[in-house]
Amino acid sequence: MTTTKTSSTRLDRPTKFLESLHLRINNDNGAKAVFKRALSGEGRHIRNTYSMVLSYLEGIHERQQEVWIFVASLSVYYPQSIREKQQNFGSSCRGLANHAQSEGADRRFRALLDTSLEDIQSPLTALVRQIKRKEVRIDYPQLLADLCQWEHPNQYIQDNWARAFWIAASGNEEQKRDEKEG
């Protein structure tokens, strides 16, 4: 129970941030385009988001603000209902692998786990694009909170994602085996 409460508290600010942002830009296609362009990683496009996000990011270290803007941009590119079901990005990647039925998703996910925060935007964006095509769910508040802890020395976020990815994979293999035997 303590873990759920801690997890919930850890997700409060990211959830409020993303909900507020989506309410603010809901009917503004120009603002949505600004966030989608920010996914390019170019400074000028990221700076264009500042007028819409910096007031929400008071008290967050500048380096972490980049992560918040990046996840906000992903959430505008592929909108999801906020806080529908808690899951980490490893679960989302497993959903992609299940739809894709290829080794590519597994290979890309393995590479992502070894990527530094500084270099994560490009491979993560590529995975989100594929996830969008397959209409797999992404929990953006969880993704945001996880990326903020990505460089923790224990790499517990990477471990959590890996567990979610491969536990789901082993469950699917058991289910397929049971269906063949039954």
Among candidate residues 94, 77, 68, the one with its CA nearest the CA of residue 150: 68
What's the mean pLDDT when you consider all of the chain?
88
Quote the domain boundaries for residue 129. Answer: 2-181
Question: What's the pLDDT score for residue 7?
Answer: 60
Distance separating alpha carbons of residues 28 and 37, to the nearest angstrom = 15
Give the H/E segment covering residue 77: helix 62-77
Instruction: Count up the domains in the chain and report the number.
Output: 1
Over residues 39-51, the mean pLDDT reads 95
Residue 174 has pLDDT above 80, yes or no: no
Beta strands in 69-118 (DSSP E): none
Question: What's the pLDDT score for residue 79?
Answer: 95
Task: Provide the CATH number for the domain around residue 25.
Answer: 1.10.520.40
pTM: 0.86
